[in-house]
Every structure is written in structure tokens, then in C-alpha cells.
């Protein structure tokens, strides 16, 4: 009781505050997303994501070198193909854009971890994450046939040099299918980082500009989770763990920190939080207008993910954060 107890004693100078800080973000926590496109010397800024670019493979390699020099341990690759089709050929073809980027990065920066996003929405003409029933304009993806495409995609990405496979399509059984495919192809040591709890969120808008993956009709609510559900996230996580996931992701992060906390409570697996495009763009827009201190808000947000239980943070702020953390 006051005056014996005075919590401010441990806040009175930076050194004490640093000593007793409970949660600390380090550069080791960060994963930087990159968007690969065909061509050479392409660096096209995404209007809705200031500071983030669509990059050709040569530019991806340059970016990977910078990321590695900053001490960031991993990147995650997304791809925008030259052409799209109903079979999502660009996702699983050995000469797909993510495959080319993964190989080039591993040759140039072998110690940088390359995570491959394993999804189909960037590669299908519909913008959906798999096969659709002919004539169906609701966005109901055919689950089981899509698993075969995801399996082929994961194996091709592993062959190209990806260190970690990250399936994001929210198909039932996708972890099991991918694990079986990787193991049968001799990639039993490739981990799976599952987008286990991925919500049908309004925070993805800028990403869809970057990945050119906006659904041409309908929406993704038949396979991504309802934002009102929490217990369902735990069910999804438990299923993915049973199917062989090595790491678990919650996406988005900012509006779903309660989910990160709940997931961390039920598993000892590493938990990743995806600080998604809309969250990034809101901070950038406010900072560009002079309304907030970008550095303070960004580091505070990343720390909040750690406080909620995240072990890893996928964030477009990664390079800036790495520099700020070194100051």
C-alpha cells in the first residue's frame, strides 16, 4: 500500500526501465515480406503501401542482401505471375516467379531464410485461392481438388530452395496434404508455417493491390474465418498442429491480439503474427500527415504483438524497425 509501494521507483530513468522491461522486440523476431514480379530492373512502388515495392528478381536479390545486412533473419515471398489461369499454373510451375526469386536469393544470400507463401489467389483468373465450381460466383472454393494444387506448389517451392513453406489458403486439410507432398518428395526436413487462424479481414486491401489478387467476384468468407470467432481459431490451430504444422500464424495481428494470446496459451509451437498491409498503411498515412511519430508507434505496435505472445512478426516495417532497434 502507498506510500510503502511506489511503482514509479522502477520508472524513474531509462536504465531502470530497460532493466525491468518485460517484453522486448529484437531484429531476430522480424520477417520481411517481398513481392516478386516478372521483368528486369523493376521497382514499382505500391501506391497504397508507401515504401513497399513490386520487385523483379534482380531487385529482390538486392533487397534480400539489404535485409540480411540489417540482421533480419527471414523474408517471405509473394509472386505476381505474367499470366493467370484456372489451374494457378504460375504457383506450382518450376519456372514460377516465386520459384525463380527463391533460387536467386538462396544463391546470393544462402544464410537468409526464404519462406514461400503457398497460396493460389495471385495466380488464378478468379483471384480466389483454388478451384471454383463452374458458374459459381459466390467464392466457394472446391476444397479437396485445391489440396492437390497446394501440394504441387509446396513441392516446387521447396525444390527451388525455399526453407519454409507457409500455406495461407485456409483450405481444410491443407497442412496434411502439403506435409505428405513434401515428405514424399524428400523434403521431410522443410518446416511448415501455417496460416492457421486467418480471418476474412478488411485490413488486407493494400496487400491485394500489391499482389494483384483481389477476387473478381464474391469474397473469401467461405474459407477465411469470421472476425467474430475466437474459439474457432483454437480449433483451426489444433487441427493444423495435428496435421503436422511446425509453426502457427495469426493474421491479421493488430485487431486480433486476443487470438494471439489464446493461441499461445494452448501450444508450445512458435506463434507468428502477421502485421498486415492495412495496419502498415494506416501508420504510414498518419505519419506522412504528421499526425503520429512513426518510429514510436511502430515499435509500440510491434512490442504489443510480443506482449500478446507472438514469437515472430511478419511486418512491412521490418527494415525500419531493424534500424531503429540498433539506435
Cα–Cα distance, 113 to 289 (Å, whole number): 35
Question: Where are the alpha helices (H) located in 194-290, listed in sequence order?
Answer: 205-211, 231-243, 257-266, 277-288
Q: Mark residue 287 as left, alpha or beta (left: phi above 0; alpha: psi -120 to 50; beta: remaining).
A: alpha
User: Per DSSP, what are the bridge partners of residue 56?
Assistant: 37
Compute the Cα dihedral for 86, 91, 92, 97 and give only its sign: positive
Q: Which residues contact 244 (CB under 8 A, 6 or more apart)?
A: 175, 176, 179, 192
Q: Mark residue 37 as left, alpha or beta (left: phi above 0; alpha: psi -120 to 50; beta: remaining).
A: beta
Q: What is the DSSP letter of 295?
A: H
Peptide bond between residue 252 and the one before it cis (omega within 30 degrees of 0):
yes
Q: Which helix (H) or strand (E) holds 74?
A: strand 74-79
Instruction: Tell me which residues are annotated as active site.
Output: 198, 251
Amino acid at each position: 500500500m502507498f506510500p510503502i509501494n511506489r511503482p514509479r521507483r522502477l520508472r524513474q530513468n531509462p536504465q531502470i526501465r530497460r532493466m525491468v522491461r518485460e517484453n522486448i522486440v529484437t531484429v531476430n523476431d522480424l520477417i520481411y515480406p517481398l513481392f516478386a514480379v516478372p521483368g528486369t530492373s523493376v521497382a514499382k512502388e505500391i501506391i497504397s503501401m508507401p515504401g513497399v515495392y513490386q520487385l523483379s528478381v534482380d531487385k529482390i536479390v538486392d533487397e534480400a542482401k539489404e535485409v540480411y545486412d540489417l540482421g533480419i533473419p527471414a523474408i517471405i515471398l509473394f509472386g505476381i505471375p505474367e499470366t493467370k489461369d484456372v489451374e494457378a499454373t504460375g504457383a506450382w510451375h518450376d519456372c514460377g516467379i516465386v520459384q525463380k526469386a527463391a533460387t536467386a536469393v538462396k544463391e546470393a544470400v544462402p544464410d537468409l531464410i526464404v519462406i514461400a507463401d503457398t497460396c493460389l489467389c495471385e495466380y488464378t483468373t478468379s483471384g480466389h485461392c483454388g478451384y471454383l465450381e463452374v458458374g459459381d460466383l459466390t467464392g466457394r472454393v472446391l476444397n479437396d481438388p485445391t489440396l492437390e494444387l497446394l501440394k504441387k506448389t509446396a513441392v516446387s517451392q521447396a525444390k527451388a530452395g525455399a526453407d519454409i513453406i507457409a500455406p495461407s489458403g485456409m483450405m481444410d486439410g491443407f497442412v496434411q496434404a502439403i506435409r505428405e507432398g513434401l515428405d514424399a518428395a524428400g523434403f521431410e526436413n522443410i518446416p511448415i508455417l501455417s496460416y492457421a487462424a486467418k480471418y476474412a479481414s478488411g485490413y488486407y486491401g493494400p496487400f491485394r493491390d500489391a499482389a494483384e489478387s483481389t477476387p473478381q467476384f464474391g469474397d473469401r468468407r467461405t474459407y477465411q474465418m469470421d472476425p467474430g470467432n475466437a474459439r474457432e481459431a483454437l480449433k483451426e490451430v489444433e487441427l493444423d498442429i495435428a496435421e503436422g504444422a511446425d509453426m502457427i500464424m495469426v493474421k491479421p495481428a493488430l485487431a486480433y491480439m486476443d487470438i494471439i494470446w489464446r493461441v499461445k496459451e494452448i501450444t508450445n509451437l512458435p506463434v507468428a503474427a502477421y502485421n498486415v498491409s492495412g495496419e502498415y498503411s494506416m501508420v504510414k498515412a498518419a505519419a506522412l500527415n504528421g499526425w503520429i511519430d512513426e518510429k514510436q508507434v511502430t515499435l509500440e505496435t510491434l512490442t504489443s504483438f510480443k506482449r500478446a505472445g507472438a514469437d515472430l512478426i511478419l511486418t512491412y516495417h521490418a527494415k525500419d524497425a531493424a534500424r531503429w532497434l540498433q539506435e
